[in-house]
Amino acid sequence: MFNAKKVKNSIVEWIAEYFSSNAAPETRAVIGISGGKDSSVAAALCVEALGKARVLGVLMPKGEQHDIDMAFDLCRVLDIEHVVINIEKAVDALYNEVRAAGWALNDAASFNTPARIRMTTLYAVSAIVGGRVANTSNLSEDWVGYATKFGDAAGDFSPLSNLTVTEVKAVGRELALASRFIDKVPIDGLCGKTDEENLGFTYEALDRYIREGICDDDVKAEIDRLHEMNLHKVSPMPSYHYNDSSLCSQ
């Protein structure tokens, strides 16, 4: 049975150890804040592990973001410093250059490019303040590839990537985060649909399949298809193995 208290404490210790081993004493955790469960829980864990002065929230709307008040509210509740960097002009500039080169944008480019520009923004901020970028992906999203390679799937440390959505929520409640942060309906903010509408099944069904292997046949088939198709997102980059001896002339 999942013990949210023990897991929460273990993650806090892990974050503290990561920063102790890989960074100077003043190094900050840099986190993209959406106000949803993953960024909220990750930020709260970092505050508990490092103290609020060492956590920097970065809000990255693309133009007008209808739910940005949730992100501001989380930063206020956690009492962390935050900065707003609107990525709309950067995204539009890149799109305009692509069109000028003679190409039309497709869905893959339109949906993934903003996520990659957000990650570029986080690393720019991290470089300026001397920080480490928090990856806020969870196991459920990663399992079916619901993340952008080199976008929200990137980061320097990942406190939630081995927890399902159900488990992330349980840790959030253990951190005493308000329900509005934990139970906010997940939406990517780009295509107008919720995560579950895009996936075609619920996170509850996905989490049960991951942890218990139990699932309806049709949903199982789709989860397995997405998992296999997207393994490249969570696997090390394939690299050619050079073996000098095997290439020597005989």
With a cut of 80, say whether residue 244 has pLDDT above it: no
Is residue 130 domain-resident? Answer: yes
pLDDT greater than 80 at residue 247: no
Q: Is 240 inside a domain boundary?
A: no
Q: What is the pLDDT of residues 151-166, one digit of tens each?
A: 999 999 999 999 999 9
CA dist 42 and 39 (Å) reads 5
* Domains of the chain: total: 1
Residues in Cβ contact with 225 at an 8 Å cutoff, skipping those fewer than 6 apart = none
Q: Is the pLDDT of residue 81 over 80?
A: yes
pTM: predicted TM-score of the whole model, two decimal places? 0.93
What pLDDT does residue 3 have? 97
Specify the CATH number for the domain of residue 70.
3.40.50.620
Q: Looking at residue 187, what DSSP letter applies?
A: B
Average pLDDT for residues 105-122, to the nearest whole number?
95
Residue 109, domain member (yes or no): yes
Q: pLDDT tens digit string along 169-224?
A: 999 999 999 999 999 887 755 566 788 888 989 999 999 999 999 999 999 999 99
Residues 127 and 208: beta-carbon distance below 8 Å: no
Domain hosting residue 170, numbered range: 4-235
pLDDT of the residue at 83: 98
Average pLDDT over residues 108-112: 93
Bigger pLDDT: 197 vs 127? 127
Residues facing residue 57 across a β-bridge? 31, 82
Kindly state the average pLDDT of the residues 129-147. 96
Is the model's pLDDT at 250 over the cut of 60?
no
Residue 242 has pLDDT above 90, yes or no: no
Spatial contact of 61 and 86, defined as CB atoms under 8 Å apart = yes
User: How much is the pLDDT for 186?
Assistant: 73
Give me the mean pLDDT over the 234-242 stretch: 90
**Six token digits for residue 68:** 């940005």
Q: Mind listing the pLDDT tens digit for each residue in 5-56?
A: 999 999 999 999 999 998 899 999 999 999 899 999 999 999 999 999 999 9
At residue 191, the pLDDT reads 60
Would you say residue 43 lies in a domain?
yes
pLDDT band at 241 (very low <50, low <70, confident <90, very high): confident
Nearest CA to 152 out of 32, 6, 243 is that of 32
DSSP character string of 145-170: T-S-TTTTT--SB-SSTTS-HHHHHH
